[in-house]
Structure 1
Amino acid sequence: MFKQSLPHLIDLIRPIAWHASDILMDFYNRAASQGNSTLKTTEKALDDPVTAADLAVSDYLAQALPEAMGTEEFFYLTEETINTVTYTERQSKPGTWLVDPLDGTKDFLLRTGDFAIHIGLVVAGRPVLGVVQWPVHEQFIWAYTGGGAFTEGRDGVAQPLHCNRTRSLAELSLVGSRTHRNRRLEALVQKMPYGAEQQMGSLGLKLAAIARAEVDYYLGLSGKSAPKDWDFAAPEVILTEAGGQMTFMNGDPLVYNKPDVSHFGLVIASNGIYHEALCRLAEAAMAQIGDE
């Protein structure tokens, strides 16, 4: 596929992800002692706080990733650069890296610990490698197509991840957003089968929780805005390599690096065993909910 194999690319990313994690934790720990005012929060758009930590990690990754992997085969895309490049430029290389330096900004500010760094590689519209770095819990969570999904700490000992495949449909546990909720999503959740709901921040950590068999499925319903490529690409690889699935409600796969990088609609991520059933139930529920 590339001059460097996918396992080798993981090896190149590992120290970069750990250093990016250290940058985030430095800001996180300083905010604990000095207050969130030190983060110089601004508002780019409604409900989208950007912190100095976010920008610091973004700047670091924008330099470190190309230095490690080069620019001959890869294009690098982040939320900070999306408006500065054309679609033609984004399609000019065989692979595109989709980077989110801080997924779960609100949870970073609220100090829940549920924030992460996403680094995902997309080829021909589909993700083939993903890293979700969890700074607070010091976890480097990674996967590549055909290689399985794993999590490891600073010691580098990799533990395989596998979705839960034993619960019945009615016993499935749902993982939902702690802050990104709206009336239509609440109405949908009430019509879906689940035994318990766990709320988390980062989208990457939600999907990683499914991959770790802690929860079973996730419902992502867009509103006026929608998740972007860099929100989904890296965690999708981890989920699917752990045995799970992620599609739109109608079963269509997510396609990445299109002219519009937003994913509007209802996205369902699951442990895989009841994925089709969940899609059918969600489709029926959404028909009842409509635009309410």
Structure 2
Amino acid sequence: MDLDRPALTSAITKLAREAGDKILAIYEQDFDVKIKSDSSPVTEADTAAEKIILAGLKKIAPDIPVLAEESNAAGNIVDLSGGIFWLVDPLDGTKEFVHKRGEFTVNIALIEQGAPTLGVIHVPVKNTTYFAQGPGKVWRQDGDGTPFPIETRIAPDHGLTVVASRSHRTPETDDYIKKFKVAELISAGSSLKLCLLAEGKADLYPRFGRTMEWDIGAGQAILEAAGGCVETLDGTPLRYGKDGHDNPFFIAKGRR
């Protein structure tokens, strides 16, 4: 499909910010928390943000199907056989949202033939947005400031900075980390971990725990555009459109 990627990225960035504004409005009030069938929490912010994103994507690219977390949980099955689709997590890090830790994000990615080729991650509390539209084309924007390019770093000789999940740390993760010379270990929520690698603030993110495709797609697009990678344990790139949409365990690296 012939796409105007700069225009598409700009439109998706604005849409993610609009959803983020809605999330913040709810975040600053009292809200109810429900538990889904997979035991994960969901709030009115998740559903309200997804509603905004789905409506926006229908206007921006009506011919591209959308796989979105809450719609999928509600049983809405999307035909992905065309090989191109949007992947949406309207509020990644719901546990961080519920506990008022601020480490939650809005995630929108474009998947083409199993690979994330465009991605936007918006951090509502910080009003910071990361966006990518292919190799070497990746930026961070703080508020309404001028976007600036980001890239991964070469791991320093004194040791790696490793990021791990704040809410889903496992013994397997700790065992893997022990294999490396580690200078600093950072706990963080949501797709922010992938953003830290993409902007050269961390080097390694091992994930030995359950994730879904919508948790990772936008972050992988951003990290790969910045020079990094997300690989399964056998060294192959993480891919999308899988049955059930569960990811295998993976390792995200600042440099390939």
Same fold (TM over 0.5): yes
Matching residue of 1:151: 140
Specify the alignment match of 1:176 in structure 2: 164
Query: Could you tell me whether the CA contact under 8 Å between 2:213 and 2:240 is conserved in 1?
Result: yes
- State the shift of 1:22 in Å: 0.4
The answer to whether residue 219 in structure 2 is matched with residue 215 in structure 1 is no
| Secondary structure of 2:234's aligned partner | coil
The alignment of Structure 1 onto Structure 2 pairs a total of residues equal to: 254
Deviation digits for residues 125-155 of structure 1 (CA, Å, limit 9, x no counterpart): 1110000011111111100113521011332
- Native 8 Å contact 1:12 1:69 kept in 2: no
Who is 2:65 aligned against? 75
CA drift of 1:47 comes to: 4.7
Specify whether residues 29 and 213 from structure 1 end up closer, same or farther in structure 2 by C-alpha distance, changes over 3 A only.
Answer: same
- 1:29 equivalent in structure 2: 28
State the distance in 2 between where 1:97 and 1:46 align: 22
Contact 2:212–2:246 at 8 Å: present in 1 too?
Answer: yes
Distance 1:143 1:159 in 2: 11
Superposed displacement of residue 109, structure 1: 1.2
DSSP-derived class of the 1:50 partner: strand
C-alpha deviation, 1:176, in angstroms: 0.6
CA deviation profile, 1:3-36 (whole Å, cap 9, x unmatched):
x311110121122111111001101112xxxxxx
Residue matched to 2:231 = 247
1:60 correspondence with 2:49 = no
Greater Cα shift, 186-195 or 243-252: 186-195
Moved more, 59-68 or 20-29: 59-68
Gaps of 5+ in 1: 31-37, 276-292
TM-score (norm 1): 0.82
Matches of 2:236 and 2:192, distance apart in 1: 23
153-162 vs 134-143, greater mean Cα deviation: 153-162
Distance, in Å, in 2 between the alignment partners of 1:258 and 1:123 is 13
Whether the aligned pair in 1 keeps the contact of 2:13 and 2:131 (CA below 8 Å) is no
* Alignment equivalent of 1:256, drawn from 225, 240, 253: 240
**Identical positions, percent:** 30
Q: Secondary structure at the match of 2:55?
A: helix
1:271 aligned residue = 254
- Give the match for residue 188 of structure 1: 176
Larger radius of gyration: 1
Partner residue of 1:162 out of 130, 148, 151: 151
Query: What CA distance in whole angstroms lies between the structure 1 residues aligned with 2:218 and 2:186?
Result: 21
Q: Which has the higher helix share?
A: 1
Name the structure 2 match of 1:283.
none
Q: Contact 2:135–2:227 at 8 Å: present in 1 too?
A: no
Runs of 4+ in structure 1 deviating by more than 4 angstroms, as ranges, are: none
Partner of 1:5: 4
Give the aligned partner of residue 189 of structure 2.
Answer: 201
CA distance in 1, matches of 2:15, 2:159: 39
- SS at 2:48's partner residue? helix
In the alignment, residue 9 of structure 2 is paired with which amino acid?
I
Give runs of aligned pairs for residues 67-106 of structure 1, distance below 5 A: 67-70=59-62, 72=63, 74-82=64-72, 83-85=75-77, 89-91=79-81, 93-106=82-95
Alignment RMSD (CA, Å): 1.6
